[in-house]
């Protein structure tokens, strides 16, 4: 799609997004749904590219538990091999009849030494066995200290806990249309001074070369005092909008992506939290509006926020005289 006066946005494009303007080097979307940048780094060794601390802090809980289990098992296997080669008789137990039973005795002794449990029926005898047991005890103390710190860091890490609607809607608004998306907090945390910022990315052709243009999407309400219920972000598609005069096929060809950035203050953490996500043109539903996701309880004493309705919407007819027609997923 070439940029003509008919399609040229009224707002000036911006270049402070942190993303490049050369569309030919981009791979798919700019941001993943979880807010991470869709890129891979290389050129230096992996141990210099990867921060172990950040990886373990941001790792999924199931993966983190699996990592701790594998680390614990691996350390025990290594030291069990050392005790096995030194000799099971140096652990103060009678030699079992099979090599497998000998190795298992060494493994269980390693487990007791690493955790500093020491049930008493096994103890190291001899110089080499005591040296290995001392080293393992030190590693066990340091390992559990590190694991305790990581677990605390994972629990104490400030997070926004925001749930975004899977789709972004082109809905009726006033006498025309608007881009709308919805979000809400899904934990029992409370956010205040919540600010939202939307950036539009369009891949267009200029002088025969495909480039990425970034435009701010002004919101009807960009900041609220408290996010108690859900919040629908609304960008009106008027003459000042970057999407003004864009038709369905134009937005699809331009591979539109909307980047969402939210910043707020969390009362529980007493800290600033933030969260990002993005929507591609395949996630846009054209001609729809959100349905209410909260209601009064039966006794009328409180309000119920139904998080499973974050994306609940119904198809509607849009005003025919409105100009922008983004794609439908």
Strand 191-206 and strand 294-296: the pairing is: unpaired
Place of tokens 């003509």: 4
Residue 277 pLDDT > 50:
yes
Residue 5 pLDDT > 80:
no
Q: How far is CA 131 from the centre of its chain?
A: 45
What's this model's pTM, rounded to 2 decimal places? 0.78
* Mean per-residue pLDDT, 214-219: 92
> Would you say 284 and 167 are in contact if contact means Cβ atoms under 8 Å apart?
yes
Residue 275 located in a structural domain: yes
Domain count, the chain: 2
Burial class (CB in 10 A: 0-12, 13-18, 19+), 99: exposed
**Which CATH number belongs to the domain containing residue 130 in this structure?**
1.10.287.70
Residues 52, 165, single domain; the answer is no
pLDDT: which is higher, 58 or 93: 58
Residue 37 located in a structural domain: no
Q: How many residues does the chain have?
A: 329
Residue 15 located in a structural domain: no
Residues 63, 99, single domain; the answer is yes
The pair phi, psi for residue 184, each rounded to 5°, is -160, 160
Residues 307, 172, single domain; the answer is yes
| Each residue's pLDDT tens digit, 98-123 | 888 889 989 999 999 998 887 777 88
Residues 100, 239, single domain; the answer is no
Residues 165, 147, single domain; the answer is no
Pick from 107, 131, 156: which residue ends a domain? 156
Residues 145, 173, single domain; the answer is no
Residues 91, 199, single domain; the answer is no
> Would you say 31 and 278 are in contact if contact means Cβ atoms under 8 Å apart?
yes
pLDDT confidence tier of residue 88, bands split at 50, 70 and 90: confident
Residues 147, 209, single domain; the answer is no
> Would you say 245 and 217 are in contact if contact means Cβ atoms under 8 Å apart?
no
Question: Distance between CA atoms of 329 and 325, rounded to whole angstroms?
Answer: 13
Residue 306 located in a structural domain: yes
Residues 203, 190, single domain; the answer is yes
Residues 141, 128, single domain; the answer is yes
Question: What is the structure's pLDDT at 328?
Answer: 42
Does residue 85 sit in helix, strand or coil? helix
Residues 193, 294, single domain; the answer is yes
* Mean per-residue pLDDT, 52-69: 92
Question: What is the structure's pLDDT at 161?
Answer: 92
* Mean per-residue pLDDT, 218-223: 94
Residues 308, 191, single domain; the answer is yes
Residue 224 pLDDT > 90:
yes
**pLDDT > 90 fraction of the chain, expressed in percent and rounded:** 43
Question: What is the structure's pLDDT at 269?
Answer: 81
> What's the domain range around 66?
48-156
């Amino acid at each position: 799609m070439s940029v003509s006066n008919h399609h040229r946005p009224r707002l000036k494009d911006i270049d402070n997004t942190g993303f490049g303007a050369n569309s030919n080097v981009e791979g798919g979307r700019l941001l993943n749904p979880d807010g991470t940048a869709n890129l891979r780094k290389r050129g230096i060794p992996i141990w210099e590219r990867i921060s172990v601390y950040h990886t373990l802090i941001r790792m999924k809980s199931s993966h983190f538990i699996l990592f701790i289990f594998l680390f614990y098992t691996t350390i025990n296997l290594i030291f069990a091999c050392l005790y096995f080669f030194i000799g099971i008789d140096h652990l103060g137990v009678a030699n079992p009849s099979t090599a497998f039973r000998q190795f298992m005795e060494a493994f269980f002794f390693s487990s007791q030494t690493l955790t500093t449990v020491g049930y008493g029926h096994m103890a190291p005898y001899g110089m080499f066995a005591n040296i290995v047991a001392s080293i393992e005890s030190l590693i066990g103390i340091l390992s559990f200290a590190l694991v305790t710190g990581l677990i605390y860091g994972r629990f104490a890490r400030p997070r926004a806990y925001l749930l975004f609607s899977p789709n972004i809607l082109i809905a009726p608004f006033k006498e025309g249309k608007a881009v709308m998306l919805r979000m809400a907090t899904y934990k029992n945390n409370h956010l205040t001074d919540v600010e939202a910022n939307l950036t539009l990315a369009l891949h267009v052709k200029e002088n025969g070369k495909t480039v990425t243009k970034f435009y701010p999407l002004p919101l009807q309400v960009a900041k609220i005092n408290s996010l108690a219920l859900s919040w629908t972000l609304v960008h009106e598609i008027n003459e000042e909008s970057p999407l003004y005069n864009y038709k369905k096929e134009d937005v699809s060809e331009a591979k539109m992506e909307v980047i969402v950035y939210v910043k707020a203050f969390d009362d529980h953490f007493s800290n600033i939290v933030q969260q990002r996500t993005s929507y591609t043109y395949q996630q846009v539903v054209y001609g729809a509006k959100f349905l209410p996701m909260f209601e009064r309880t039966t006794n009328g004493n409180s309000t119920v926020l139904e998080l499973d309705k974050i994306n609940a919407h119904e198809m509607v007819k849009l005003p025919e005289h409105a100009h922008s027609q983004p794609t439908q997923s």
